Amino acid sequence: MSSRKRIEFDDQRRSCGILIVIEHYSPGYKYGGPIRSIVGLIDRLGDEFSFHVITSDRDFKEKNPYPRLEAGAWRNVGKAAVLYLIPREMRLRRWRRLLNRLEYKVIYLNGYFTKTTIRTLILRFLKMIPSKPVILAPRGEFSSGALGLKRMKKTIYMQVARWMRMYHHIIWQASSENEKRDILRALGLPEDEIMVAPNMVPASVVPRDDRRVKKSGSLRMVFLSRISRMKNLDYALNISMTLRGDIFFDIYGIIEDRDYWKECQAIMKNIPGNVFVSYRGEATPDQVPDILSGYHLFILPTRGENYGHVIHEALRAGCPVLISDRTQWNGLEEKKAGWDIPLSRPERFIELIEAMTEMNEAAYHEWSTGARRWGETMANPIPAVEQNRLLLTTACQAGLRER
């Protein structure tokens, strides 16, 4: 990386430099929610804190770098300065050199099991980089659904990390009280080490015009998420086996797990003719609101979500949601915005899809209006901004005490 001088992040207007480390960032989108969360944080608080982001020069699971983007040089992206690195610049030795060259007060890590987090904390444990306050956002990795995937590998790493005390004296960010309980259960931390600071959607996310017409007996249903076991597409396909009415079920998403996608395709071959299932490919963030505005129902029987940005986007687009109860989007039915149902009740999923199928225009309009109303209500309420401000301020003050 070409850097000819020590980089000082602070300026007169914003006195606390936050170095954000994230595996992938904008203009990428295939990494999903973590990108949206960090963009939202910077959009909302970038006038108060000095944000610098270090990330990869390519999107999630992509071999080629972003076109027309110079790696190894800082560039302004929104309210942050971003440094895109080629893969070899993110290896341990060069990572150490980089972190020793930069000036910052707080380092903000995304993900407990991510390579950049592990590298950074190994260097910190070995005292090979400056001691700075660390914020760590696990991004839902400690939900029961997430820990159940590759359980043995994760358990061994967590035990080794605990033995090495790699994660000691860290400020943990939980996006909700539910995630706070997940972290406490998984790691047994003192409760006062965890701060709840909800994820925030980017300020640029806006709903598009509604293009839906609803006829009784017909339903347009959409799944839009990464195609991985965590998102549980096979569950949605299996419950489609017995649905009545004309169901047009479209699937959008990055195929993250190709073996899992083959399993889903095998199920699709056996779905009856009244359910028309189509894979529509990937969708960029800019396309998502417009896509969702064309469907009557969004379905996501996820095994767990840190936040669920796409759920929020569906609501804001006026598309009622049918999701599992393993997210922070609870109590949807009472708001006429959708339903959050335990995965142990597939018959309830079927019942609700068929009820939605039978709805006429007037009945459906109530649910669409309710979804949009709740989505707008939850679009960065003031308490979420305040909690994130407190999180960053607490870390910055800890940094000042260590000087």
pLDDT digits (tens, 9 = 90+) for 243-284: 999 999 999 999 999 999 999 999 999 999 999 999 999 999
Q: What is the mean pLDDT of the chain?
A: 91
Over residues 161-174, mean pLDDT: 91
Q: Residues 204, 168: contact at Cβ < 8 Å?
A: no
What's the pLDDT at 128?
95
What's the pLDDT at 209?
62
Two tokens, residue 321: 């949601």
What is the pTM (predicted TM-score) of this model? Answer: 0.86
**Dist CA 303 CA 228 (whole Å):** 10
Give the DSSP letter of residue 283: -
What's the pLDDT at 400?
52
For the domain made up of 218-377, the CATH class stated in words is alpha beta
- pLDDT exceeds 60 at position 402: no
What's the pLDDT at 366?
96
| Residue extents of the structural domains in the chain | 7-200+381-402, 218-377
Q: Residues 290, 205: contact at Cβ < 8 Å?
A: no
- pLDDT exceeds 70 at position 12: no
Burial 108-128 (b: 16+ CB within 10 A, else e): bbbbbbbebbbbbbbbbeeee
Number of other CB atoms surrounding residue 241 within 10 Å: 12
What's the pLDDT at 4?
35
Over residues 226-239, mean pLDDT: 97
Query: What is 7-200+381-402's CATH number?
Result: 3.40.50.2000
**Closest C-alpha among 297, 306, 304 to residue 337:** 297
- pLDDT exceeds 80 at position 14: no
Q: Residues 176, 198: contact at Cβ < 8 Å?
A: yes
Burial (CB count <10 Å: 0-12, 13-18, 19+), residue 393 = middle
**Would 7-200+381-402 and 218-377 be classified into the same CATH topology?**
yes
Give percent of the chain above pLDDT 70.
Answer: 93
Q: What is the pLDDT of residues 293-345, one digit of tens each?
A: 999 999 999 999 988 999 999 999 999 999 999 998 999 999 999 999 999 99
- pLDDT exceeds 60 at position 231: yes
Q: Is there a cis peptide before residue 27, judged by omega within 30 degrees of 0?
A: yes
Residues whose CB falls within 8 Å of the CB of residue 2, separated by 6 or more in sequence, listed in order: 72, 73
Q: What is the pLDDT of residues 70-120, one digit of tens each?
A: 899 999 999 999 999 999 999 999 999 999 999 999 999 999 999 999 999
**Dist CA 346 CA 255 (whole Å):** 24
What's the pLDDT at 380?
67
Q: Give the model's confidence band at 394: pLDDT under 50 very low, under 70 low, under 90 confident, else very high.
A: very high
Number of other CB atoms surrounding residue 151 within 10 Å: 10
- pLDDT exceeds 80 at position 47: yes
Lowest mean pLDDT among 11-15, 67-71, 207-211, 234-238: 11-15
